[in-house]
Structure 1
């Protein structure tokens, strides 16, 4: 609980500030629209949490989101009957990308920063090669319903977000979650205690790939088909996780706080937009948050673990 209070306190302040500028925000429809808009990033942050808490990074999720949307539109091409088979294929593809990231990182000993950066470039290049920079095809109405439809007054994206959040919390409270945290805290000690470190990290990358797939499905629903739909989302997801207090070196953090960090980041961007501040400042904000998080993490290291001058 103590890990989540600070970030949700900041979120509450930002939500109040938004409501002062835009009173419509406090109405149910206004708040649900905010939650609907934030859902893809919050889901991405949940997936990124599992990778970061294990001591790794996943820079490929933004490109994977774009690939999922582009592939989905090309294969469905407006055919309603193809919706569910393509959705299943996209889920398998996201898991496969996560599996490749995990295997290359853990078994081939390639640093995850390099592995996922390479995957980001591979996916971006493949999308451009396949589309020529102009995605073709169209998503069916059934596909788009996940991002733009609703069950009564509640958007499907919000319901999916709640389901993903509940699943993520359940995983962190199970042995798997404790195994990941132990791996990120001290890989050698975890291995000596019987933890299958490689398998845990591979599963973490697969969860990240699955989260990117779900986020892509939602974004395809209300943002449409674009070769830039996932651009920059990998950095937003990492920023959200560290904003939620998750240690970049792994071993410490809460998935609820990571998701709260994503909501806080979305609220901050919303407030900046309401004040007419340039969207380019978003990158500056993300950079400051990441640098500050690393600095705070370094200050928290026990004195005996700090390098000597």
Structure 2
């Protein structure tokens, strides 16, 4: 019998919500009367969308990655310390940051698959390790400075007729999204979804389950590194720059209709979920709603998404074992 993953897109609902929010922004905020307002929204949302894409790979394969927020903070702190405001250091430091992101993802993936430690615990431990290392290194006050050529990725752009200046971060975001969508349309991406849905069936069909899960964590770490580069250029250096981003990324993914537990969802929907979340917070800010409400909104979205899936509204019950799944190969 040939194993075929049962795919569920779920992109349409989140796109409808996103469209409504964009219209609401245009009505509420004068800045959104021009394309520049929406480009600025994409620029702010780019790091979160990249994190959501990376989180999607891990969640779709049946895991979690709670380390990405701390990884972003560590990357920004390392960048400032090594660049020291010198443009000559930009290229090799960026290469180092990307390698560090891949390394963290690789460690997360190997411990999860080879030592059989739940990904929630592994990445929670990595979060604490990175937080502790950053605090020990900086004492809570990062040193160093980013060079102008480093910050151009998060702040700079290029001119396009009619649209005006398009940020480089938007171009990076589009390239990552297209690459992720093409990856998920291929055989490896479809098998990755199948792993999250029923890893036993994939093993029986000859699939390399452990390798695919490691790849998911590596991609998450790599995209977190890219997000850190963009966020550092946009927001500057801080020891709290990545705080809470892991939960925002998870919220964005479930808002996009991706089922916690794996096997369901679209990477485009996950990215749209991140943009929807950023648009929602921008609208709340324009309406004068306290920023403290953001955390509550994220929590409500996660609870509602899990409850919806557990009651059968999603295509998989994430909180209960499925009797149809074989216990042993």
Task: Please give the range of the TM-score, normalised by the shorter of the 2 chains.
Answer: over 0.9
- In structure 2, the residue matched to 1:107 is 114
Q: Once the 2 structures are TM-superposed, how far is the Cα of residue 43 of structure 1 from its aligned partner?
A: 0.7
Output the TM-score relative to the length of structure 2: 0.91
- In structure 2, the residue matched to 1:275 is 287
List alignment gaps of at least 5 residues for structure 2: 1-7, 160-164, 324-329
Determine whether 1:12 maps to 2:19: yes
- In structure 1, the residue matched to 2:49 is 42
Determine whether 1:3 maps to 2:10: yes
Using a 3 Å threshold, how does the CA distance of structure 1 residues 266 and 129 change in structure 2: closer, same or farther?
A: same
Alignment deviations for residues 49-76 of structure 1 (CA, whole Å, 9 cap, x no partner): 0000000000000000000000000001
**Cα distance in structure 1, aligned partners of 2:30 and 2:132:** 44
Alignment deviations for residues 58-115 of structure 1 (CA, whole Å, 9 cap, x no partner): 0000000000000000001011111000100000000000000000001000000000
**Cα distance in structure 2, aligned partners of 1:167 and 1:102:** 21
How does 1:145-224 map onto structure 2 within 5 Å? 145-152=152-159, 153-224=165-236
- In structure 2, the residue matched to 1:246 is 258
Q: Once the 2 structures are TM-superposed, how far is the Cα of residue 305 of structure 1 from its aligned partner?
A: 4.0
Structure 1 runs, 4 residues or longer, greater than 3 Å off: 301-306
Determine whether 1:120 maps to 2:127: yes
**Cα distance in structure 1, aligned partners of 2:33 and 2:242:** 29
**Cα distance in structure 2, aligned partners of 1:147 and 1:214:** 10
Structure with the larger helix share: 1
Alignment deviations for residues 224-246 of structure 1 (CA, whole Å, 9 cap, x no partner): 00000011000000000000000
Q: Once the 2 structures are TM-superposed, how far is the Cα of residue 40 of structure 1 from its aligned partner?
A: 0.4
Output the TM-score relative to the length of structure 1: 0.97
Q: Is the 8 A contact 2:9 2:269 kept in 1?
A: no
Q: Once the 2 structures are TM-superposed, how far is the Cα of residue 2 of structure 1 from its aligned partner?
A: 5.7
**Cα distance in structure 1, aligned partners of 2:57 and 2:255:** 15
**Cα distance in structure 2, aligned partners of 1:166 and 1:223:** 25
Number of aligned residue pairs: give it.
307
**Cα distance in structure 1, aligned partners of 2:119 and 2:26:** 40
Q: Once the 2 structures are TM-superposed, how far is the Cα of residue 20 of structure 1 from its aligned partner?
A: 1.0
How does 1:279-294 map onto structure 2 within 5 Å? 279-294=291-306
**Cα distance in structure 2, aligned partners of 1:179 and 1:47:** 17
Q: Once the 2 structures are TM-superposed, how far is the Cα of residue 23 of structure 1 from its aligned partner?
A: 2.8
List alignment gaps of at least 5 residues for structure 1: none
**Cα distance in structure 1, aligned partners of 2:176 and 2:311:** 33
Classify the secondary structure of the residue corresponding to 1:208.
helix
Alignment deviations for residues 243-278 of structure 1 (CA, whole Å, 9 cap, x no partner): 000010100000000000000000110011111111
- In structure 1, the residue matched to 2:39 is 32
Classify the secondary structure of the residue corresponding to 1:154.
strand
Classify the secondary structure of the residue corresponding to 1:151.
strand
